[in-house]
Each structure stands twice: as structure tokens, then as C-alpha cells.
Structure 1
Amino acid sequence: MGELPLSAIIPGDKLANMFSERVHSRQAQRQATQRVVLDAAEALFHAQGFKATTVRQIASRAGVSIGTVMAAGDKDRLLVSVMDQRIELMHQARMLPETGFLAMKAGNNAPEMVAALAHPFLALFAEDLDLAREYGAILIKGRHNSAVFGALAFQLTAEFEQAFKLFGLPREAAHRAATTAHLSYLGILLAWAGGAYDQQSALHQLKETVGALMGAEGK
């Protein structure tokens, strides 16, 4: 007598649930392993610098194989993931009611408000300027993309636009000014990372740009 198929022993819906639970368990395990790898990479990047850190050292600190580290990404990918996580946490904190955009409407003028919106990210990059520079260089090379940085660009531009509208620009003019201000912000950020500005000078330059945009649009 042949063996009964598994579906004849276990009802189909229960079998499907068992398979789904197993898949979810494996996904959770992979995510947990990736978390350990990223934590190890971040600790080493901060302790001894990006260039001095090797994949072998990351694997040793994480207690996994080199192959497991490489499954999470090469060293460049790991740095992008580490920085993306920090940016995402900062972004989420800014969206809380007590620290979000609406709570910042008390700014005296558009330049002050736009600078206040950009300041947390400049401060984040300033915590480890060498890592920020490496992060920027990786993104410029185009080998690894940052979904978080792309989402942040959209969000900041929208917030800049709200600031321009709040201080008197009509919608279309505010949109143009916000787009230009964000491009200027990115240029200032790269120049700052390259040593052309310190943090306060970068903020001052951004304020100057926003003030000029307000003037150009007739306000």
C-alpha cells in the first residue's frame, strides 16, 4: 500500500498555515542576522573608520561567517544601510507631533524655518563627518542607491514648500523656490562634507539662498 499524501493527513488550510509560518520564521531569522551584521558594521565603522574596517572583522564581531556578511551586502552597501537607518530614525522623530513640521511654525521668517528643517540632518552627518563623506561618495558613484535618502528629498522639498507658502509665496512660486532651495541644500551639503563649510557656515549659506529666493519671487 502506497504512502498517503501529506494533504490527506493534514487539512489543506492547516498545511498552508504551517508553510506560511515556516516562511515567516525564516524571514525573521534573516532579518535578525542582518541586524546583527549591521550593528557590528556600525560599531566598527565608528571605532576605527570605514576604510580600516574589513568584512572579516565585521564577521568576527557579529559571530557569523564572511559569506553571511556578504549576503547582507558588501562594505559599501553596509555603510549605506547603516546611514539609511540613522536617517530614517531622524526622519521619524521629526514627524512626531511634538517635533514635526507644524510645531515649527513659530519661525521668524522663511530662511530661519528652512534652516531649522535642514539642521537635524546636518547635525546627524556632523556626528561622524568621515562616515558622512564616505556615504556621499558611495551614492555619487551610483553603485548603491538609498531609498531613504530619496524619500527624504521628497519630504524636505515638500516641507520647504510649506515654509515658503507660510511666509507669503503663492503655491507655484513656493514650489519653484522649494525645488531650488533643496538643490542648493544638496550642493551645500556636498561642499560641507568636502570641507568648504563648517556646520554653522552651511546653515548660513542655506539661509542666504532662501532669502534670495524669497526676494526673487517678489517677497
Structure 2
Amino acid sequence: MFAERVQSTRAEQKRRTTTRVTEAAARLFQEQGFHGTTVRQIAAEAGVSVGAVMAAGDKESLLSLVYDQAIAARIPAPPAAESTASAVDYLSRYFDPFLDLFTENEELARAYFRTLTRGRPENAALGGLRTLTEGNLTAAMGNAGMPDARARLGAQVMFTSYLGELMLLAAGSTDPQQTATRIRQTAEFVTAQER
């Protein structure tokens, strides 16, 4: 019983430390940029040692965690089956909060995508985001009357399109309006496949 309590206390302490480190990293990345922020500065801001920061993750891992949490906090719930919102409207508007996040700080968005393209194991949160997003999009298309298998495939297409569009946006190859337009066109294409 004592050992279980000690393990629980250690796990809780680690979670609190990781939260402090992540919050400190988010503030510093926003204020100083990704390249202008050091692990030592994150440690000082969080009030922990450099080792504690590194236990939470290196700078790239922390940026991924910051972005993944910010994205997850903005995910809209799928419309109810009785909703009057069209599947196209929901699918195309679903990504607006994410686009806003990426246009708020272009330097951080580019740094985030560089970390994603490295395919590191700590980017596992992206897998969780994909699962949640595809689940919401599948539900929206299912609620609009699309058969489940088609809705799942449509959700996969939408998520993949979204990632590609965000990469183009982060690279400066497009602008937010063009990105939103192309995401809507993809939503129209995906939902038209059933007709």
C-alpha cells in the first residue's frame, strides 16, 4: 500500500512538472520564438532544473506538445444528427480554429512542421489528434446520412488534405484564404461522392 502511494505521488509530481515545463515553453516560444528560446530559459521560467525539462522532452518535443495541446483544445464537436448544419459546412469549418492557430505565429508553425516531418516517436500526439479528428468527421458525415465505411474514408481524406494544406501554409506557398477554400472544395468533393 505504501509503495502504491509513493508511485502515485511520483507520477503526480511528474505530471505537474511536465505541465509547468509545457506552459513555460509555450510562453517563451510565443514571446521569443522557437529559435530564440533555450532549454535553460524554459527551466528557469518553469522553476525546475534543465534535467527536469529534458525529462519532459527536448525543445522540439516540447513544441510538438504545445501545439498538440493547443489544437486539441480547439477541436469542435461533431453536429448532432438532428442538426441543420450541412456536412460540407461542418467539414470545411472544422479546421478553421487550427488555421487560426497556425497563422497566429508563422515562425512557430514552420518549426512545428519541421518537427512533424522528422517523424519522431514523441509526435505520437499527432496520432491521437488524427484519431479524434477522424472520429468527429466520420460522425458528422454519418449524421448527414453517409454510410459508415464511406464516412470513415471521407474523414481520412479530409484529415490528410488538412495536413497537406497546413504544410503549404507553413511553407508560405499559400495564404489562409486559399487554404480554407481548398479545404471546403475537398469537403464538397468528399460529400458529393455519395450522391
Which among 138, 161, 186 is matched to residue 209 of structure 1? 186
Mapped contact 1:87–1:148 kept (Cα < 8 A): no
- Show the counterpart of 1:118: 95
SS of 1:145's partner is helix
Letter in 1 for 2:80: L
- Show the counterpart of 2:80: 102
- Show the counterpart of 2:68: 84
Tell me if 1:150 matches 2:134.
no
Q: Deviations over 1:93-113 (max 9, x none)?
A: x34xxxx53289332x43322
- Show the counterpart of 1:52: 36
Letter in 1 for 2:109: A
- Show the counterpart of 2:109: 132
Q: Which runs of 5+ in 2 are unaligned?
A: none
Which among 24, 31, 36 is matched to residue 15 of structure 2? 31
- How far off its partner does 1:158 sit? 3.1
Q: 1:212 to 1:103 in 2, by over 3 A?
A: closer
Mapped contact 1:77–1:144 kept (Cα < 8 A): no
SS of 1:70's partner is helix
Letter in 2 for 1:53: T
Letter in 1 for 2:36: A
- The 5 A counterparts of 1:188-203 are 188-203=165-180
- Show the counterpart of 2:141: 164
Instruction: Report how many residues are paired.
Output: 195
- TM-score, normalisation: structure 1: 0.77
Q: Deviations over 1:155-185 (max 9, x none)?
A: 3223333443444544443333332222222
Range that drifts further, 49-58 or 20-29? 20-29
C-alpha distance in structure 2 between counterparts of 1:131 and 1:103, whole Å: 37
Mapped contact 2:137–2:155 kept (Cα < 8 A): yes
Q: 1:50 to 1:203 in 2, by over 3 A?
A: same
Q: 1:165 to 1:32 in 2, by over 3 A?
A: closer
- Show the counterpart of 1:67: 51
Q: Which runs of 5+ in 1 are unaligned?
A: 1-16
- How far off its partner does 1:204 sit? 0.8
Greater RCO structure (CA 8 Å; 6+ sep):
2
Q: Deviations over 1:161-218 (max 9, x none)?
A: 3443444544443333332222222211211111122222211111112223344x25
- Show the counterpart of 1:13: none
C-alpha distance in structure 2 between counterparts of 1:167 and 1:31, whole Å: 40
- Show the counterpart of 2:26: 42
Letter in 2 for 1:68: A
Q: 1:175 to 1:77 in 2, by over 3 A?
A: closer
- TM-score, normalisation: structure 2: 0.85
Q: Larger C-alpha radius of gyration, 1 or 2?
A: 1
Letter in 2 for 1:20: E
- How far off its partner does 1:43 sit? 1.1
Range that drifts further, 188-197 or 43-52? 188-197
- How far off its partner does 1:78 sit? 1.3
Q: 1:21 to 1:47 in 2, by over 3 A?
A: same
Letter in 2 for 1:175: R
